[in-house]
Structure 1
Amino acid sequence: MTTRRTESLTGQLAHGGGAGEHFLLPGAVIGDGRYRLLAQFGVDERAGAHLWRARDGQLRRDVALTVLVGRSSDAQRAQDARRTLERAAHAARFTHAGMARVLDVLTLGNGVDPNEGLLGIVVADWSTGTDLVDLVAEHPLPAANAARLLEPLAAAVERAHVAGLVLGVDHPQRIRVTPDGALRLAFPGPLPEAVPRDDVKGLGAILYLLLTGRWPLPGGPAAIPGAPISPAGAIVPPEALHNHVPHELSAVAMRSLEDTSIGGIRTSATLLTVLDQAAESAEQTEFMRPVVPGTEDDDGPVWTTRPPVRDKSRRRKLAVGVTVLAIATVGVLAWVGMTLIDFFGDEGGSGGTVVVSASPETGSQTESQPPPAQPAGPLKPAGVTEYNPEGEEDNPEDAGNVTDGDPETLWKTDKYQQQLPALKPGLGVLASFAEPARFTSVAVESPSPGTFVEIRTASSPDPELAETTVVAKGELRGGRTEFELPDDVEPSQYLVVWITKLGEGNQSSIAEVEFIRAK
């Protein structure tokens, strides 16, 4: 099936003729011969930005390229490109699940040949998943799904604005849908004149697109129909196009697009709050709305992505509530059981009490004696995996070498062209234990002096970096380095040895890691 992305690219490239476009074809190599173009995913004509998936020949991984096309002799175009590249470089230290991490920024004379007709390249992590344009190609999404899809991207925008950054989420082909059902800015590189308010308008436009299948801002892909305009010259609200769209969610989209002087949403923080409230309202009414056969709502099966997991505090409250209910139920059943036993025991006239007890050799010892204490000393993990949440894995098949007892076998990082955190915040190995344990120290044996590491605790075998806690850190001296853990560290089932600075030659190795358990 021909997707809207393919149709859009066909229409955009048919106009052709731009500087540098003649060699931007699959298989071409750009960026000083490092990046081989694989497939094009869009064109943001407002910035002369071509959006490509490419293969990094040095690090052997796929990346997202925002390629700025133009002639260096065009002073205004070159100045705009420099501003976009500067903004992308400032975002390189910003990390959030709602935005692909910027790995590198190539400028004229620094990775970009001016004779190729290019003005710069923004390199970012490749975002797996689906194109946003393809997601709405067949039909708009249910209201609650649309809102939950947008929330992670809105959260990324809000965090970026607090940090003084503008992300540039105002073009649909720059956005992708992750496998776990969330929108992500896959091709960073904001317009040179963009301000935070433009991000808010972009979020409103994306919500409008999800609810209606139409794009309300200028400069969108040719294959996506524009939003209809009323006789008064205003954009028609989503609820007027589709009667299943709740008023609250339609209002969020419209207020994000409107002028702030007449009631529009001004900041991303306000948008995020209002969006969450509207999403909850939509979820509450989603299963209450009747579907009348033969009407617009009767569309048959609707493909939707899985909504993102709700916030942790709500899950904790739900878990506590279920636990309390279970305990209360067991108590009631126990009381009823004892009442029945007493009733039938009295009626039976046996006059005696039947006592069921365990034999002295088994049950009595089990009930009277606590389980044996675990001995202090080294504790071998049940498993070790390579931990690299912000990029491609580095030799994951060798991660188990760090606990195999043989110092001759190593786990090595890849050899990087730049020191951390230029390309990623770090990398390491994660040890999983059979049960939580309290640790006093972690010893790392390494032939890579000058490597800086952190010891982190985690609550799951595949955590986000923000979900881990630093409990010790320092520099590897070469040979064995032991890291003492504070006495107040809680028992943990997962420990991470996290490298924040590579050793000589931008590469590090770890021979053995020993985890010392407390008494």
Structure 2
Amino acid sequence: MPSSAGPSIDTITEGGRVTQVGEGQDADESAPPVMTFGAPTTGEILAERYELVEHINNDSAGRLVWRGVDVVLRRPVAVVLRYPGGDSATEMLQAAVAASRVIHPNLVGVYDAIDEDERAYVVREWVDGQSLREMVADEPLDPARATAIGAAVASALAAVHATGMVHGNVHPGTVMISDDGRVVLADARTDGDDSQENDVRAVGGLLYFALTGHWPHTEAPLRGATAGHGRAGIADAVRDADGALAAPRQVRAGVPAYLDDLTMDLLDTEIAPPSSDVLSAELARLDVPAEDQFLENSGPLRFSAEAGEEPSPLAAAGGRKVAIGIAGLLAVALVGLLIGISTLGGDDKDPQTNPVAAPSSSAPAQADPPAAAVGPLRIEDVRIIDPDSTKRDELDDADKITDGDKDKGWRTDNYPNNKYGNLKRGMGVWLDLGAPHTVKSVQVTLSATGATAALYAGTTNPPSTSSGDKQVLRDFKTRIGQPFEEHDGTTMAFDGFNADQKYQYLFFWVTQLPAEDDGGFRLGVQEITVQGS
């Protein structure tokens, strides 16, 4: 390799715009660039497998981003190189290894992490598309699009947080939107300086940026903070003379009130944020097809829920301003219905802005049906599936899996190796939701790390017999999400459900047991919860 300095920054254009692979870790804009002695060259093959095709850019931490090809699997990859390797690259490599263990459709896949002392590099999924930072460069996004992106990022964070890890690097440069519309989050870091709460608040920053084109400085205290440098040169947020952040609705017209309140709640350090899975469920509830017109692009959120309807998960989580916002919308909707006031703005010919008479009991309903609230689903029946056992003596305590107490659960026997002593293909838990439901996610809490398991859906309810258990194993073939292999956490989250399909029967199948501290192998399933509507 030549010993010259790094190559000039080139770009690839497809369809008239830049194709990139994320912005990397956040770095102070005044930080010196990383020295790149012995920089790579086009055509070089790393680790006898990854051919470098073209230098794309340098990320904000000074690392080189290349488009490459995996010559073994013949697929495009992104190669992120750092000089030097060794101890200085430890955090980057550790973050890549941790990220590779979480498989989720909204996370960039990490394939390899290699340290060669003089340099280190991470090989990850190539994304043809653009970052959120680039997408918003021309103009802010409409509320529906911003909500969809926020929902995707929150879902990715829920998967990361379920393992006990933190992403720690959520900003407009690490959110990628592929050419086919897929939203992916890239470049996690594990330096221990962040928290899951900050990850969640960063989603508020993304929503604010997507809606306004300005960055609200979520990395610094918001109340009373003074304007400073935004991340990666993004325009500073608008503030008043006291430094208070302007709400999205004060910056641009057409932002729904509820989305405005939700965004500001996430950025307000005086309000405890929800967990990432609750935020994911709430944003997914709002992320509906445009033809359903749940979100109005030119005015406040259309309120379609009845006064007695179950509150959304986020409101239940204690968002003060969100609850106030919902109550305000209820009041406006009720007053407008009874005394015929006009809603905010709009054309006089718009039927939604004209006075509305009180409806008669015989008039057909004009409002859209209420959106179904997402929350915990009741599990009507649960049983242990043990298709390869003749004794069937490990079936007790199945009811403890759904009793809401994570300190109690069902446990396998102790086996001499992690494959059930080579006696069984596996054991599992069968669930009956009582009726078909739209399911958003399933979370399984285990007693130990190191288990291998997967989640399946089916349509049959065989008897609780040896032959019935074998039938479950045959019939339940629809896998939900990605399986976990020797999982390094005690929580497994599955959210790959089809939104257009309803589910009643689910099957959690464990094929490998973790080791016990005192010898042997066994696993406890402490709790299973199902979120849906």
Q: TM-score, normalised by structure 2?
A: 0.46
